Amino acid sequence: MTEREKMLAGKLYDPGDPELCAERAAAKEQTFRFNRLSPSDREGQRALLRELFGKTGDFLHVEAPFQCDYGRYISVGENFYANHNCVILDAGGVEIGDNVLLAPNVSIYTSGHPLDTERRNAGLEYGLRVRIGNNVWVGGDVSILPGVTIGDNAVIGAGSVVTKDIPAGVLAAGNPCRVIREITEEDKTRFS
């Protein structure tokens, strides 16, 4: 297996592999250009994001600054919005559904390092896919860790650290993030 194949399969891999280094360098150049575009150049921003991401819907908007590792392993659905300071480390792949809102300072991490010092010191890491369903709102300053799935129609409260899967249709928050309650019909008439 190549190092990229290992990375995408969730196995330990060497991120110093020349092919992976070149992919990350290309993504850094694209995000550099994206982050320097005028805020009024929405079409230019969308064009760069469509080049950078593996898949997008027709409408997407990402506020600068934005950072990612590869970009090509990020898939977003229709009507995607990410506010300022979004960071997506996409080595393991990130799948985001339709109508997803990311508040400021959301970080999605698919990369991790072994707990074993010998393998960690050898520079090895792993990537585990993150999946975010449709109609999800992720609050400000949320960190989503490797391997997590967030179900459709979920809301993640600000400041949460999402370490485990979150089911569909719930409000979840905290560190570690846990389900607070189901989202109900009553929520159609209130703000919090």
- Of 28, 33, 113, 131, the active-site residue reads 113
First to last CA, the chain: 49
Residue 89 and residue 111 in contact, taking contact as beta carbons nearer than 8 Å: yes
Among this protein's residues, is 113 annotated catalytic?
yes
Per-residue three-class SS string for 3-67: HHHHHHCCCCECCCCHHHHHHHHHHHHHHHHHHCCCCCCHHHHHHHHHHHCCECCCCEEECCCEE
Q: DSSP class of residue 6?
A: H
What span, in angstroms and rounded, lies between the C-alpha atoms of 58 and 181?
Answer: 33
Residue 112 and residue 126 in contact, taking contact as beta carbons nearer than 8 Å: yes
CA gyration radius, the chain:
17
Residue 75 CA, distance from chain mean position: 9
Question: Could you list the active site residues?
Answer: 113
